Structure 1
Amino acid sequence: MSIILFYLILLSFSLTQSCNIFVGMTCTCYESIDIRCTMSKQVPLTLISSIINKNFQSIDIKFNTNENIQLDSDYFILLNQLFTNTTQYSLTITLRFQNFDLFHAKTAAFRNLFQGINTPYSRLIIELHPIKAKSIIFESNTFDNIHINELSIYADSLTSSFESIFNNTNIMHLNIEGATVIHDPLLVSTFTGHIQSLKVTRMIDIVNSEEFPSFPVQSYTIEAHKMRKLDALSFLNYKQLTGLNIIQPDVSITPKILYGLENLSNLRSISFDAEHIADGALKYVKHIQTLILGPYLKMLDTESLNSLTSLQQLDVRYVQFSTLQANTSCALADYINRRRLFDLIVYLPQENMDCDCILIFLNNMINNNDNEQIRKCQSSNNDRCLFSSCSIVSEYFTRKQKENDIIQVNTPSIITPSIVSPLIDFNEQDSQFYPDSQEERTTIKIYMEPNIYDDEEVFTDTISITTITTTTTTTTTTSQLITSEESTNQFSTPFMKRLIPEVKTYGSTNYLIVSWIPFAIIASCLFLSLVIAMVSYIIYHKQHTVSFKLIPQTLPII
């Protein structure tokens, strides 16, 4: 384990290196594409060298000072030099201002950021964390001539009006979180900004037109945290109000809370992250096209779901299915299963750590019977899903189990049958004759060999297989097992009698049968041994015998 940790540390050091980019800042480069710098005392942005890497994709600068921060015009224009003119990657600039007494951004402080850079997506994030409240000042046209895909501002206040700060801008998505945004009706006529969508997020008790005024944008989304009361009738003239997000309210979502939303004809999306959505509450938003449910949801009425007849998208990616009440989870599953046939787009959670049966069921329904989650959770969750309290889920898993079961058929084996050559009988008198068809009958006799060493008498069992084939494509196979005692009484027709062969009996014997073959083999071996011995003796005798010559005899000397 220590070796792995050591290599991870070495890898992190190899991917991270200190780099000097700006004067008066401590910077760190990550894989030569991300740079993070920290400034403890505000100074004008100055590049150390003109020869620098221009392939950065993310720039993060943190201003950590307890002094006043003042941003002059074009203060951040040098950041454009850290990007290439054309890139296929998204580019992000994050500016964090912390622990300051006063923040003052002058006119055109963020002017022309990302100018002349061709990128598929550009993002600017500004985080403001002052020591005391209401110490943030944005002058008019602070973001003058900025063309950007996304601008997010996190602050407690902006001081100036919306029309003054974002005049002469081109922003696709503008997110303002935490700040009270002021609306100036007198500047609407001279406002030249082009903002496609605006989302204002606040923690507030009462949601009404005073806390969320109307702004000159194309699409407007209100997100309220810890809400206690909603005055929907105050938004009757909000033609641009298209989204409403109610996050962790201190009250349940009841029909009284949502009363009046049915008059907002342009409201297309609504999000609830509440524990309880009461009966009949959603009937006031039955015209919405997108419904988003959050992780705090515990109880949802079935009839409320059925009232959403215009719903096109349902987002339950953040719902904790394992914590939902049984009726709620089953109602969601039933609604999704029925509405998916009418092209309802459903976004489900990517992970199912608890192996929730309803979530497995929904993933298989939405993802075209993808059994990946079934395979992962089969060993620990299969029985529980079979007996689920939700009927559509239990029926689904029961059907799946039947489909996966393998029916094993045990076929008895025949011990070494002796098959006689088939006898083909063309006698037309034995069976009914059809003049327009040709009939072929095949009889196969199978004899089971008896054991001749048994003391009891054993009869031959005959298996008769008859196959009849006609031109009308009719095939009949008859397989019968009979004995000799039953053959006389069981069949009376000439044809069936002809199928039964004459029974051959094997009498039992108590004699000991001795064969002459072993004795012949023994005698042959003895004779061969005798011949070999004689030949060996003759050869040995010839090699050790000496020849003598005749010597004439002489008379003895006296």
Structure 2
Amino acid sequence: MDCTCYDYSELRCVTSKSLLHGLSLVKNLTKQNFRTLDFKFDSIKFDLQADYFSSLTNIIDNSGNSYISITFRYHNFELFHSHTAAFRSLFDNVKRQNRSRTRLTIELQPVKPKSIIFDSNSFENLHLDELSIYADSISSPFESVFNQTHIIHLNIEGAIVQHDPELVKTFTGKIKAFKITRMIDTMNSDEFPPFPVESYIIEAHKLRKLEAATFENYTQLNGINIIQPDVSITPQLLMGLEKIIKLNSMSFDAERIADGALKYVKQIQTVAFGPYLKMIDIDSLQSLKLLRQLDVRYVQFPTLQGNSSCLLTDFINKRRMDDLTVYLPQENPDCDCSLIFLNNIIDDGSQLKQCLETTNDRCLFSSCPFIADYFQRQQQEQQQEQQRLQQEQQRLQQEQQRLQQEQQRAQNELTSTKPDTKRINVPYGEELDEEHSVPPNVVNTFDTLVPVLVDFEASPPLNDFKEQVITTTTEPIATTTTTEILDVDPDNVNDNDQSKEITTNTYAKVTTTDSDFLQFFSQHQLNVV
């Protein structure tokens, strides 16, 4: 046996030997913990005795942290014979509580029909989550092969499975969900007997006729899948299914679902449509009042004919408000407008971003009115958003200009508040401009000139004038400046000497700021005649 390991978690082996004495492995693999095992056998005859796979227990991961998957592929054989308890010890090293994470797949491809034999209790004491068997037939009855098993999901595809009502009485197996898939012309209770399982799903391929009346007494039939039938799904095909009380799930992969066809399955809560769907009737959809899940992942929306795409999209759009769970296609390579619309209102809206540039005009003028209206609103909202952003940008620019102007004005005012010391000694009689006029907040209470006679033989009169100026700081803070001028005493005037008349302005003690003081002092000067 040639085996290959991948990352120490996956093992693949191939052999052309029949291995009559059980499946043996090389010793250096016995201490490995594999999670995925795949064995391919190519021989004329396979004879599986009890505990045939016991050696695998030493290489299977028993940590319980990972899902364990084992696949056996038997090809090109003339005889496959599984004896009682052949698979019994397959998962013995896995704890019972961890076996819900185990899967076993068996592929049987003989070179001639009726080459597969399963003895009674072939899967005796087998506890696992899922068992899938792909074969053209299973010779023994269902109740014999799967007796004393505990399987959550059992799938049998392609095989004609026999049913023995007598063995049902002694059947101790526990099958929670059983799905059988067959290519069949007529679907009835003879082809799909009432097996002793909790849940029963029938999948029929290439169906031409469905005899619903034969399933009226099925209490565990809760799902029917009709895949690629050779006829349309019509009311006549589904008539009678409304009497199957437990039926709550159906799948249709057909080209056409005719008017009113689904009214006979109005009790179902889950519906799935496949890639072959081309036409669907709105009345059929509207009859599904109890629908809770809709699977359109495989529907090819661009290939839907007539107004089927619009009808299906409108139905989804309206029913999503009623807590309908919808499963949409993950890919939209053609940028179909219906899918873009559904993706935007149900999923993450990623398709709108990806396809808007290439399909904008096409979606704006969609033949489906509500889709066209939706994209037109989207365009208007985008235009309004762009206008809003432009206006906001203009406002920010204007605000920036205003701040710059205020900053410049503040800088100019700061410069103008510095005192001009050159203006303190302005010559007498010089006219002052408006900038150096008396500040409005300074009040001059002595506007009248008072004439005074002064004797110049006395001490120099000008020396008796005390002018005290306290220079203020140039920093822009409020300071106090005091100006004091003493009047001349008239008793000291000499009549013999030439006298001169001096006209002066008498000043009050003024308290003001630097700039106010300089302007006031410059304007009110001492005038000597």
Note the alpha carbon deviations across 1:28-56, whole angstroms, 9 max, x for none. 11121111111101122223216634221
Are the counterparts in 1 of residues 124 and 148 from structure 2 also a CA contact under 8 Å? Answer: yes
Counterpart selection for 1:139 from 98, 119, 122: 119
Q: Distance in 2 between matches of 1:77 and 1:331?
A: 57
Instruction: Give the aligned partner of residue 74 of structure 1.
Output: 51
TM-score by length of 2: 0.71
Q: Distance in 2 between matches of 1:305 and 1:402?
A: 33
Give the partner amino acid of 2:71. T
Unmatched 5+ residue regions in structure 2? 406-529
Q: Which runs of structure 2 are paired with 1:465-504 in the superposition (5 Å)? A: none
Instruction: Give the aligned partner of residue 105 of structure 2.
Output: 125
Instruction: Give the aligned partner of residue 36 of structure 2.
Output: 58
Find out whether 1:158 has 2:135 as its counterpart.
Answer: no
Give the partner amino acid of 1:41. K
Instruction: Give the aligned partner of residue 84 of structure 1.
Output: 61
Q: Distance in 2 between matches of 1:371 and 1:304?
A: 29
Q: Distance in 2 between matches of 1:51 and 1:234?
A: 53
Are the counterparts in 2 of residues 326 and 390 from structure 1 also a CA contact under 8 Å? Answer: no
Counterpart selection for 2:87 from 101, 110, 113: 110
Instruction: Give the aligned partner of residue 240 of structure 1.
Output: 220
In structure 2, the residue corresponding to 1:284 is in which secondary structure?
Answer: helix
Q: Distance in 2 between matches of 1:232 and 1:252?
A: 16
Instruction: Give the aligned partner of residue 281 of structure 1.
Output: 261
Shift of 1:275: 0.2
Instruction: Give the aligned partner of residue 8 of structure 2.
Output: 32
Note the alpha carbon deviations across 1:442-473, whole angstroms, 9 max, x for none. xxxxxxxxxxxxxxxxxxxxxxxxxxxxxxxx
Unmatched 5+ residue regions in structure 1? 1-24, 420-558
Shift of 1:364: 1.2
Instruction: Give the aligned partner of residue 74 of structure 2.
Output: 97
Shift of 1:115: 2.6
Counterpart selection for 1:254 from 234, 248, 270: 234
Q: Distance in 2 between matches of 1:305 and 1:47?
A: 56
Instruction: Give the aligned partner of residue 16 of structure 1.
Output: none
Q: Distance in 1 between matches of 2:346 and 2:80?
A: 50
Q: Which runs of structure 2 are paired with 1:434-449 in the superposition (5 Å)? A: none
Are the counterparts in 1 of residues 255 and 278 from structure 2 also a CA contact under 8 Å? Answer: yes
Are the counterparts in 2 of residues 88 and 119 from structure 1 also a CA contact under 8 Å? Answer: no
Counterpart selection for 1:212 from 192, 209, 224: 192
Q: Which runs of structure 2 are paired with 1:344-383 in the superposition (5 Å)? A: 344-367=324-347, 370-383=348-361
Give the partner amino acid of 1:255. P
Find out whether 1:197 has 2:174 as its counterpart.
Answer: no
Label 1:126 to 1:249 Cα distance change in 2 as closer, same or farther (>3 A).
same
Note the alpha carbon deviations across 1:407-443, whole angstroms, 9 max, x for none. 25699x9xx99x9xxxxxxxxxxxxxxxxxxxxxxxx
Instruction: Give the aligned partner of residue 17 of structure 2.
Output: 41
Q: Distance in 1 between matches of 2:29 and 2:318?
A: 62
In structure 2, the residue corresponding to 1:160 is in which secondary structure?
Answer: coil
Shift of 1:79: 1.3
In structure 1, the residue corresponding to 2:307 is in which secondary structure?
Answer: helix
Are the counterparts in 2 of residues 98 and 128 from structure 1 also a CA contact under 8 Å? Answer: yes
Q: Distance in 1 between matches of 2:72 and 2:153?
A: 18
Count residues with an aligned counterpart: 389
Instruction: Give the aligned partner of residue 514 of structure 1.
Output: none
In structure 1, the residue corresponding to 2:107 is in which secondary structure?
Answer: strand
Are the counterparts in 1 of residues 36 and 69 from structure 2 also a CA contact under 8 Å? Answer: yes
Q: Distance in 2 between matches of 1:60 and 1:218?
A: 30
Label 1:214 to 1:120 Cα distance change in 2 as closer, same or farther (>3 A).
closer
Are the counterparts in 2 of residues 89 and 119 from structure 1 also a CA contact under 8 Å? Answer: no
Instruction: Give the aligned partner of residue 501 of structure 2.
Output: none
Instruction: Give the aligned partner of residue 454 of structure 2.
Output: none
Label 1:51 to 1:135 Cα distance change in 2 as closer, same or farther (>3 A).
closer
Q: Distance in 2 between matches of 1:85 and 1:28?
A: 21
In structure 2, the residue corresponding to 1:310 is in which secondary structure?
Answer: coil
Counterpart selection for 2:367 from 370, 385, 389: 389
Q: Distance in 1 between matches of 2:343 and 2:64?
A: 37
Instruction: Give the aligned partner of residue 172 of structure 1.
Output: 152
In structure 1, the residue corresponding to 2:155 is in which secondary structure?
Answer: strand
Calculate the aligned-residue CA RMSD, in Å.
Answer: 1.9
In structure 2, the residue corresponding to 1:28 is in which secondary structure?
Answer: strand
Q: Distance in 2 between matches of 1:291 and 1:156?
A: 29
Shift of 1:327: 1.0
Q: Distance in 2 between matches of 1:381 and 1:51?
A: 57
Are the counterparts in 2 of residues 112 and 144 from structure 1 also a CA contact under 8 Å? Answer: no
Give the partner amino acid of 1:27. C
Q: Distance in 2 between matches of 1:201 and 1:80?
A: 31
Larger Rg: 2
Shift of 1:396: 0.9
Tell me which stretches of 4 or more aligned residues in structure 1 moved more than 4 Å: 408-411
Are the counterparts in 1 of residues 144 and 167 from structure 2 also a CA contact under 8 Å? Answer: yes
Shift of 1:258: 0.3
Q: Which runs of structure 2 are paired with 1:383-422 in the superposition (5 Å)? A: 383-405=361-383, 406-407=386-387
Label 1:119 to 1:159 Cα distance change in 2 as closer, same or farther (>3 A).
closer
Note the alpha carbon deviations across 1:207-258, whole angstroms, 9 max, x for none. 0000000100000000000000000000011100000000000000000000
